[in-house]
Amino acid sequence: MMEILIVLDQIQAGLGGTEHGDLPLGGKKIALGAADMFDKYLNKDEKITTTLFCGDEYYMKNKNEVSLKLAAMINKLKPDAVICGPAFHYVEYAEMCAQTGAIVSEKTNIPVVAAMSKECSDVIKEYSNKVDIVKMPRKGGTGLSESLQDIIDVCRKKVNGDDLNEFKEIKIY
Amino acid sequence: MFNKLEKVLMPAATKLGSNRILIAIRDGFLITTPLIIVASIFLLIANFPIPGWSEFWANYFGNGWESWFTNVSRAVFNTVGFFTCFSTAYAYARQIKSDAIQAAASALVAFLILTPTKMIVDGLKEPVDGVLDMEYLGTNGIFLGLIVAFIAVIIYDFVYKRGWTIKMPDGVPPAVAQSFEALIPSAFVIMVFFFIRILFGMTGFETLHNFIYQILQVPLKGAGNTLMAQIIYGFACTIFWFFGINGPAVANSVFAPITKVLTMENLDAFQNGHKLPNIFTDPFSNFFTNFGGGGSTLSLVIVMLLVCKSERIKQLGKLAIVPGFFGINEPIIFGLPIVLNPILLVPFNLVPLINLLLSTLVTKIGIIPYTNGVALPWTTPIGFSGYLSTGSLWASVYQILLLILGCLIYYPFIKTLDKQYLKEEHDAKMEKVENISFDDLTNDDLNFI
C-alpha cells in the first residue's frame, strides 16, 4: 500500500473560505477536502491517508516556522509520498507548498511533489530547482484532470525511483 | 411561525380526530371500502379500457358476457347508500358502546321505511307499487343513509341505556335475552321513522329521500365539486401530515362523503354510457394530485435516490421506493422525516397543489378524460392508474410528466436537507478520525534538518 500525505490550505481542506485564513497548523489521518479529487487516479494499492493543513494567512505570518513544522511532521509520519497542493493560482498557498516541498526534498528521502499554476511565477522561479513542481491550471481552468493524473504519475515514478526525464519540461516547471 | 401554526392546527386536528360522528363516518366507509374495491375489479373486467375488449371476449362467451361481471359490481355500487347506512350505524353504535349490531339493523329498517316503494316503469301508466328502486339505495342514498344511521342509533341508544328493555329471568339463553332487550329500543326507532315517513308524505317532496337529495346533497355536492374545496382539502391533508397527524384520515371525514358521491355519479354515468359529470373524484385525487402518497412524495423518493449523497437519505430512498410506487409513504413521512421538518413543508404542500391545478386544467381543456369513477385501489401504481382510471394513455404520460415536475420542485429542498445531513454525517465521521497535533512535535523532530 502506497500511503500518500497531502498538504492543503484551509480552502482546499474544506475548512472555510478566505475568512478562515488564520487557521493554524493541523492535521487529520484521513483524506480531507480536495484530496478526494485524486480518488479516481489512484490505484487500488494507493491511498491518501493523511492531510496536513494550514490557513494561508497563518502561513504568511509564520512562513519559516510553518514550513519547518510541516516538513518535520512529514518526516515524523514518514509517508510513502507527499503531495503539496494542488495550489491552483493561490500564491500564498503555492509558496507554502513550494517551501515545505523544498525542505522535505532536501532533508529527507521522502518523495515529494508540489503543484501550482503558472500564475504563481515568482514562487515557481524561486523553488523550481528545489522541488518538483507539476504544472496545473488555475482554478476553473481547463486541463485539471490531466494535471491531477500528472501529479499522481510523478509521485508514483519518484516512489519507484523511475526516470522523470520524459516528464521534465512538459509536465514539470 | 411553526409554533403559531401548531397552536391553531393541533386543537382542530384533535377535535376532528376525536369527534365520534366523524370517526363513525370514516369507519363506516372503511367497512364498505373492501366491497367497493372488489366490485371495482369486476367492473373493470367488464369495462376494461381497451378498444375491442368487449368484442374479443364475446367471441368466446357470447354477447352480454359483461353482465356476469356487472351483476357483481351492481350488487355493491347500487346499494352503497344502503350499506353506508348500516356500516355507519354499526361504527357509531360501537363507538358509543351500544348494542352495535341491533342498532345498525334498526337503522337499516329505518332507511327502508323512508325509501319510496313505488317505481315508474317505462310503458306503464301507473307506477308499480311495492318495489324498491335501486336508485334510492345507491349513491343518491348516501347522505340520507348517514343521517338515518345517526338518528336511529341515537334513539336506540337513548332507550337502551335507560334500561327501557324487556328483562328476561336468569336461565334464559343470552342470545334470547339480548333479542328481547332489543325489542323496545328497535320499536322506538321504527315508530319515529314511521311518523317521519307519514309527515313527508304530506309534503310536496313526498319522501325524505327526495327532500334530502334536493335540500342537502345537491348544494353540498356542489360545494365539494369546486376547485377551492379541493385546494382546501389538499392543504388540510398535507398540513396535518406536517404535524404528524394522518391528514387524509382527518380531512376525509369531512370530504369523503362528498367525493364519494361525485365518484359514484361518474361511475354511474360511465356504466350507462353517459357523459361523465365530475372532475373531482376519488381517483382524480388519488392518481392525479397525490400519487405516491400524501404530498406526492414519489417524486421526492426518486430525487433522494438519484441525487442525494447523505447515507441516511440514500438508505431511506432505497427502502421507500417500492412502497412509494404503491402510494405508501409512511417511511418518508416519519423516516426522513416530513413531520415537523420546516425545509420540506413548502414542497410537500406545493407539489400536490400544482398537481391539482394542472390536472384540473388539462382535464377541463380535454387533454385527459374525466375519471370514470371505477374505484381502483389507491395503491395502483402511477402510469397504470392514469390509464385505468380514464382509459387514456395520455393520462399515463401526463402522470409521468407530473412526476418529473414534482422531482424538479422537490429537488432544491431535498438538496438543502441532504447538505445538512451530509454535514452531520461528516462531522460525526471527523470526530472519530485521529487528529494530528503539531504541539506533539519535539525538538528532536524539528532538528531533523
Report chain B residues whose CB lies below 8 A from the CB of A108. Answer: 448
Return the SS3 of A43: coil
Q: How many CB pairs under 8 A join A and B?
A: 46
Pair B420, B311: CB distance under 8 Å: no
CB contact under 8 A, B445 and A108: no
Convert the pLDDT of each residue in B61-116 to its tens digit: 988 898 898 898 888 878 888 998 999 999 999 989 999 999 999 999 999 999 98
CB contact under 8 A, B433 and A69: no
Q: What is the C-alpha to C-alpha distance for residues A63 and B258, in angstroms, rounded to an integer?
A: 78
Distances (CA, A) of B48 to B53, B285, B387: 7, 21, 10
Nearest residue of B to residue A29 by CA position?
Answer: B434
CB contact under 8 A, B441 and A73: yes
CB contact under 8 A, B446 and A73: no
Q: Where are the domains of chain B?
A: 20-217, 223-425
CB contact under 8 A, A76 and B430: no
Q: What is the C-alpha to C-alpha distance for residues B339 and A43, in angstroms, rounded to an integer?
A: 45
CB contact under 8 A, B435 and A69: no
Report chain B residues whose CB lies below 8 A from the CB of A28. Answer: 430, 433-436
Q: What is the pLDDT along chain B (449 residues), one digit of tens a residue?
A: 556 655 665 566 566 656 788 778 777 877 877 787 777 778 778 877 566 788 889 999 988 898 898 898 888 878 888 998 999 999 999 989 999 999 999 999 999 999 988 777 777 788 888 888 887 888 678 778 889 999 999 999 999 988 888 888 877 888 888 888 889 999 999 999 999 999 988 988 888 888 877 776 666 666 677 888 888 888 888 887 777 666 776 677 667 778 888 888 898 888 888 888 889 998 998 899 987 778 899 999 999 999 999 998 998 888 888 878 877 777 788 778 787 777 888 899 999 999 999 999 999 999 999 998 887 777 788 888 899 889 899 999 999 999 999 999 999 888 888 888 888 788 777 777 888 888 888 888 887 76
Report chain A residues whose CB lies below 8 A from the CB of B448. Answer: 71-72, 75, 107-108
- Among A6, A15, A28, A67, the strongest candidate for a mutation testing the B interface, having the largest count of B CBs within 10 A, is A28
Q: What is the pLDDT of residue B438?
A: 86
Q: What is the C-alpha to C-alpha distance for residues B213 and B228, in angstroms, rounded to an integer?
A: 23
The three cell numbers locating residue B247: 391528514
Instruction: Give the length of chain A.
Output: 173
Q: What is the C-alpha to C-alpha distance for residues B61 and B55, in angstroms, rounded to an integer?
A: 10
Comparing CB atoms, the residue among B430, B434, B448 nearest residue A75 is: B448
Q: What is the C-alpha to C-alpha distance for residues B354 and A129, in angstroms, rounded to an integer?
A: 65
- Among A15, A30, A74, the strongest candidate for a mutation testing the B interface, having the largest count of B CBs within 10 A, is A30
B interface residues, A as partner, C-beta within 8 Å:
430, 433-438, 441, 445-446, 448-449
Comparing CB atoms, the residue among A29, A50, A107 nearest residue B448 is: A107
Q: What is the pLDDT of residue B402?
A: 95
- Among B423, B444, B446, the strongest candidate for a mutation testing the A interface, having the largest count of A CBs within 10 A, is B446
Nearest residue of B to residue A66 by CA position?
Answer: B438
Comparing CB atoms, the residue among B430, B435, B445 nearest residue A72 is: B445
Convert the pLDDT of each residue in A12-69 to its tens digit: 888 888 888 899 999 999 888 888 888 889 988 899 999 999 999 999 999 889 999 9
Q: What is the pLDDT of residue B15?
A: 67
Nearest residue of A to residue B435 by CA position?
Answer: A28
Of all residues in chain A, the percent with pLDDT exceeding 90 is 49
Task: Using the Cα atoms of residue B188, residue B194, residue B197 and residue B199 in order, give the sign of their dihedral.
Answer: negative
Report chain B residues whose CB lies below 8 A from the CB of A6. Answer: none
Return the SS3 of B340: coil
pTM exceeds 0.80, yes or no: no
Q: What is the pLDDT of residue B184?
A: 93
Whose CA is closest to B234, among B249, B219, B220, B247?
Answer: B247
Report chain B residues whose CB lies below 8 A from the CB of A25. Answer: 438
Pair B212, B203: CB distance under 8 Å: no
Distance from CA of A170 to the nearest CA of B (A): 32
Comparing CB atoms, the residue among B435, B437, B448 nearest residue A72 is: B448
CB contact under 8 A, B436 and A75: no
Whose CA is closest to B421, among B326, B322, B320, B312?
Answer: B312
Residue B194's Cβ-side half-sphere holds a number of Cα atoms within 13 Å equal to 7
- DSSP one-letter code for A17: -
Distance from CA of B429 to the nearest CA of A (A): 10
Question: Other CB atoms closer than 10 Å to residue A118's CB: what's the count?
Answer: 13
CB contact under 8 A, B448 and A108: yes
Report the run of H or E that residue A5 belongs to, with start and end.
strand A2-9
Distance from CA of A107 to the nearest CA of B (A): 6
Pair B387, B287: CB distance under 8 Å: no
Question: Other CB atoms closer than 10 Å to residue B168's CB: what's the count?
Answer: 15
Whose CA is closest to B156, among B193, B182, B195?
Answer: B182
Comparing CB atoms, the residue among A25, A28, A73 nearest residue B433 is: A28
CB contact under 8 A, B438 and A76: no
CB contact under 8 A, B436 and A73: yes
CA angle A130, A149, A31 (to 5 degrees): 85
Q: What is the C-alpha to C-alpha distance for residues A137 and A148, in angstroms, rounded to an integer?
A: 10
Q: What is the C-alpha to C-alpha distance for residues B422 and B99, in angstroms, rounded to an integer?
A: 57
Nearest residue of B to residue A51 by CA position?
Answer: B436
Report chain A residues whose CB lies below 8 A from the CB of B449. Answer: 68, 103, 107
CB contact under 8 A, B430 and A30: yes
Nearest residue of A to residue B441 by CA position?
Answer: A73
Nearest residue of B to residue A68 by CA position?
Answer: B446
Place of cell 332487550: B181
Distance from CA of B438 to the nearest CA of A (A): 6
CB contact under 8 A, B441 and A76: yes
Whose CA is closest to B152, among B83, B86, B214, B211?
Answer: B86
Convert the pLDDT of each residue in A71-87 to its tens digit: 999 998 999 999 998 99
Report chain A residues whose CB lies below 8 A from the CB of B430. Answer: 28, 30
Nearest residue of B to residue A70 by CA position?
Answer: B438
The three cell numbers locating residue B131: 318495489
- DSSP one-letter code for A172: B
